[in-house]
Amino acid sequence: MTDQQAQNKIKTEEYFINMGPQHPAAHGVLRLILTIDGEIIKNVEPDLGYIHRSIEKMCERDSYQQIVHLTDRMDYLSSHINNEAVCLTVEKGLEIEVSDRVKVIRTIIDELTRIASHCLWWGVMGMDLGALTSYFYAFRDREMINDIFEETCGARLTMNYNVPGGLMFDIHPNFVKRTKDFITHFKTKIPEYDRLLTGNVIFQKRTKGVGILTKEDAISFGVSGPTARASGFSSDVRKHHPYSAYDRVNFKEILFTEGDTFARYQVRMMELWESISIIEQLIDNIPEGETKAATKAVIKLPKGEFYQRVETARGELGVYINSTGNKNPYRVKFRSPGFSNLSVLNHISKDVLIGDLVATMASFDFVIPDIDR
């Protein structure tokens, strides 16, 4: 038998392995059932529910003010934006117009949250690809944002600063100064991030041309956020359906057409600059005004359906409230960005290596409690 014949007789067999629920690259407790042939992935089947905390069901028993704190725990990296989504929906139902001051403060904190979230994503993406240094750099800067939040909102991570009708209390006197200090500091740090990771040859080889998501797929799977914008799908809710103070600021929607992991990386890195620019436009002219519109102690939404969408750090979050006119909602549904983004993972991970799947997942920036709720 010649070597060629012997090779032809070798048969490979597909088998499955679990990636997760306890896996350092799964960013939490996501379980992926991988069908693999050698190191080539044939199928990816996500198994959800390892952090399903029944938040939507709990919302049905709570009053409208109480729902807000639960949304902190969904996508905990953009907790302020989640709070805002619920508050905007309730305000829409009550037909309350919040003051300009509230709108501007909400927008500034939104963008600070986005920077904090992207910082963490950048650090963890480096860590997933074997560059641990980025983790320490990113968390150093994240701490500064956490300090600002702590001073104004009273909490570092789960802020719970919004209430239906406005803000829980006014900003801290130091808020403006500390935010400006942070911006000055952070502007010198993004080029440092770029020097450390973006230009790195190993990093580029791991990310360029990996996990390509086309624009058509992005649209048909309902992908949103930076992930969709890296494929050229213009989907920024802040731009297309402005809420709060986004209609009075100038910012670019970052669009790339490559759709690979490196493009998703670049979108997020450039969004950091856009967030800084939005904060700079607003921080010096926070208008005077009420921080909370008058609402009744027991909020009752009129009978009907209400929907509001916002742009979190991961994509489009939609809040649907179905009210029967009682003090608690009949049904609450969150359209979370992570869930739709995860659905496309199988489609783009066929016939790639396991290592590339880790890179792709890192660039999607999943937060598992956001997917499971």
Partner 1 sequence: MGVDKKRYLSQLEEEGLKQVVPADFPGKIIPGGNGGNIVVTTLDSVINWGRANSLWSLYFGTSCCAIEMMQTGAAKHDYSRFGFEVARASARQADLIIIAGTIVNKMGPVLRRLYDQMAEPKYVIAMGACAISGGPFYYNSYSVIKGADHVIPVDVYVPGCPPRPEALLEGMIMLQQKIKTENMAKKVNPIDGFDEGK
Strands (E), 22-101: 31-37, 40-47
Residue 129 per-residue DSSP state: T
- Nearer Cβ to partner 1, position 57 or 208? 57
- Nearer Cβ to partner 1, position 119 or 348? 119
**Helices 100-128, 354-364: crossing angle, 10 deg rounding:** 170
Encode burial over 36-56: b for 16+ CB neighbours within 10 A, e otherwise: beeeebeebebebebbeeebb
Pick from 143, 181, 194, 247: which binds partner 1 (CB under 8 A)? Answer: 143
Q: In sequence order, what are the beta bridge partners of 19?
A: 32
Residue 79 CB, nearest approach to partner 1 (Å): 8
The size of the interface with partner 1 (CB under 8 A), counted in residues, is 35
Q: In sequence order, what are the beta bridge partners of 332?
A: 321
Q: Largest Cα–Cα distance in the chain?
A: 88
Pick from 42, 135, 168, 291: which binds partner 1 (CB under 8 A)? Answer: 135
- Of 366, 371, 350, 373, the residue nearest 25 (C-alpha): 366
- Nearer Cβ to partner 1, position 22 or 326? 22
Q: Is 273 among the residues that bind partner 1 (CB under 8 A)?
A: no
State how far the Cα of 255 lies from the Cα of 263, in Å rounded to an integer.
9
- Nearer Cβ to partner 1, position 138 or 167? 138
Pick from 38, 45, 97, 140: which binds partner 1 (CB under 8 A)? Answer: 140
Tokens of 238: 């802040």
Q: Is 92 among the residues that bind partner 1 (CB under 8 A)?
A: no
State how far the Cα of 169 lies from the Cα of 260, in Å rounded to an integer.
43
Q: Is 139 among the residues that bind partner 1 (CB under 8 A)?
A: yes
CA dist list (Å): 146 to 114, 116, 155: 12, 8, 8
Q: Is 185 among the residues that bind partner 1 (CB under 8 A)?
A: no
Q: Is 146 among the residues that bind partner 1 (CB under 8 A)?
A: yes
State how far the Cα of 335 lies from the Cα of 4, in Å rounded to an integer.
54
Pick from 120, 197, 210, 313: which binds partner 1 (CB under 8 A)? Answer: 120
Pick from 33, 40, 51, 283: which binds partner 1 (CB under 8 A)? Answer: 51
Pick from 14, 15, 16, 54: which binds partner 1 (CB under 8 A)? Answer: 54
The one segment of 142-150, 242-250, 316-324, 358-366 that binds partner 1 by CB under 8 A: 142-150
Q: Is 314 among the residues that bind partner 1 (CB under 8 A)?
A: no
Residues near partner 1 (CB under 8 A) are 21-24, 28-29, 49-54, 57-58, 61-62, 69-70, 72-73, 76-77, 120, 135-136, 139-140, 142-143, 146, 156-158, 368-369
